């Protein structure tokens, strides 16, 4: 990391920082990195490096799995990532002593800012102090690496850490906002303060952008960039001719949490089974709802029709997609799900709910089928239509792939993100 040269500080606090080879340097902060449900962040980081960026990574917590369960790429990333909490008390103390010695007034101002974010709530005040401790550790890590811009995925607690760090250190801050979780407790997540404190914000779609507009005055809207996610088209190329099996395979990939609506999907499958249809639902993922979902399936007598696959590493997911006849999401809340993009790219017809950012990806009847959230009868009907209409499945599979190719090609979208970084950082420099 030697021989770096830094650009000037801009009025907004952002900086263009390049090393001796002219590479723009950016630090990425994530709550948990690597994480199996956030593989898109790992892909983004690695592709930005291929595009000439020098990306440093920090994670508040350990990866979500032990080293032996990580993929090779994940182990590489984990080994090169600064882990904040695992660094321990001694590292935190060392960072804070260095910060006090170097910039005592900035240190105190940032501490007071962190406390103000908590308001009068004692629990939030306590968390504010935790975030302040982590923010100084991040700031000292960036100072040692001579990195002057911090980018944070999700406007959740990790970005609060980033916001405080930007008060304590001469660094720029930007965010990628996904939604919708961040929007449910806008005051608790300090979204207004984050919009005001960020140099710019990348929104994964128009829905996310609209919610940030709702939370900010029009003079802040110029900060909002649309930077869609996507998939690598070669990695999720169309599968070979699908032979099918003795059962119609319905696949759902996602964490087993209330927001994903898997109980509704199980209820829809129950309707189909009671009609005498041979179907099997495969749920890929894990989470706090697993035991309740298993009990729901057992109570309905669906033990053989609902299979819980658990978490599956990214390098083993493709064969599971290949076996599917349709992909289904019954979610109550989503941003724009990458798993839908993956299925569509592989020409698997999709059924999802008509909520939040999903209609930006799937146009009902053109790229897939959309149903109202919580309506298991409508979901069962959509699945029934696909079971009974081979031509509809073929058409939706092909147009779904085309939709992803045109709008969610990750190679193109990361290049677009890179241009946003360059343009914004150079403007602030």
Classify residue 343: in a domain, yes or no.
yes
* Residue 237 is assigned to a structural domain of this protein: no
- What is the pLDDT at residue 246? 84
Q: What's the pLDDT tens digit per position in 248-299? A: 999 999 999 999 999 999 999 999 999 999 999 999 999 999 999 999 999 9
Both structure tokens of 297: 């399936």
What is the number of structural domains in the chain?
A: 2
Q: What digits encode the pLDDT tens for the residues 199-225?
A: 999 999 999 999 999 999 999 999 999
**CA dist., res. 75 & res. 310, Å (int):** 21
| Same domain flag for 218 and 288 | no
Residues 296 and 178 in one domain: no
- Residue 183 has a pLDDT of 94
Residues 143 and 281 placed together within one structural domain of the fold: no
Cα separation, 135 vs 150, whole angstroms: 11
Pairing between β-strand 15-19 and β-strand 4-9 as defined by DSSP bridges: antiparallel
| Residue 53 structural domain | 4-230+410-428
Angle at 357 between CA 354 and CA 362, to 5 degrees: 60
In a domain, 392, yes or no: yes
Can you give the pLDDT at residue 83? Answer: 98
282 with 184, same domain: the answer is no
In a shared domain, residues 172 and 257: no
Cβ atoms < 10 Å from Cβ of 241:
6
**What is the sign of the dihedral through the CA atoms of 355, 356, 358 and 363?**
positive
- Shared domain check, 163 and 56: yes
CATH of the domain at 420: 3.40.50.2000
Cβ contact 263:294 at 8 Å: no
């Amino acid at each position: 990391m030697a021989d770096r040269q830094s650009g000037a500080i801009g009025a907004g606090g952002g900086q263009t920082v390049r090393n001796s080879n002219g590479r723009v340097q950016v630090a990425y902060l994530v709550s948990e990195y690597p994480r199996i449900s956030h593989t898109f962040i790992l892909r983004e980081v690695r592709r930005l490096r291929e595009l000439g960026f020098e990306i440093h990574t920090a994670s508040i917590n350990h990866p979500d799995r032990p080293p032996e369960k990580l993929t090779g790429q994940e182990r590489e990333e984990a080994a090169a990532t600064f882990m904040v909490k695992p660094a321990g008390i001694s590292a935190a103390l060392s960072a804070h002593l260095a910060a006090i010695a170097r910039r005592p007034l900035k240190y105190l101002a940032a501490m007071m800012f962190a406390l103000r974010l908590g308001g009068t709530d004692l629990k939030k005040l306590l968390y504010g102090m935790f975030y302040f401790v982590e923010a100084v550790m991040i700031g000292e890590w960036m100072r040692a690496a001579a990195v002057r811009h911090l980018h944070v995925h999700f406007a959740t607690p990790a970005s609060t850490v980033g916001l405080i760090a930007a008060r304590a250190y001469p660094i720029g801050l930007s965010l990628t906002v996904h939604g919708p979780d961040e929007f449910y407790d806008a005051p608790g997540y300090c979204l207004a303060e984050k919009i005001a404190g960020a140099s710019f914000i990348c929104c994964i779609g128009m829905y996310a952008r609209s919610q940030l507009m709702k939370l900010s005055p029009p003079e802040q809207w110029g900060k909002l960039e649309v930077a869609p996610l996507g998939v690598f088209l070669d990695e999720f190329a169309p599968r070979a001719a699908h032979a099918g099996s003795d059962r119609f395979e319905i696949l759902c990939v996602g964490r087993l949490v209330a927001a994903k609506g898997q109980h509704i999907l199980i209820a829809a499958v129950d309707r189909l089974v009671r009609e005498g249809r041979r179907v099997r639902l495969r749920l890929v993922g894990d989470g706090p709802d697993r035991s309740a979902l298993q009990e729901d399936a057992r109570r309905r007598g669906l033990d053989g029709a609902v299979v819980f696959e658990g978490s599956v590493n990214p390098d083993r997911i493709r064969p599971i997609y290949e076996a599917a006849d349709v992909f289904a999401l019954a979610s109550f809340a989503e941003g724009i799900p990458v798993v839908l993009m993956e299925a569509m790219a592989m020409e698997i017809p999709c059924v999802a709910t008509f909520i939040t950012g999903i209609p930006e990806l799937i146009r009902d009847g053109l790229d897939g089928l959309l149903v109202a959230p919580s309506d298991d009868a409508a979901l069962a009907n959509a699945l029934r239509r696909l079971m009974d209409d081979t031509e509809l499945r073929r058409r939706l599979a092909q147009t779904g792939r085309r939709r992803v190719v045109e709008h969610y090609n990750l190679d193109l979208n990361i290049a677009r993100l890179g241009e946003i970084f360059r343009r914004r950082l150079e403007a602030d420099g």
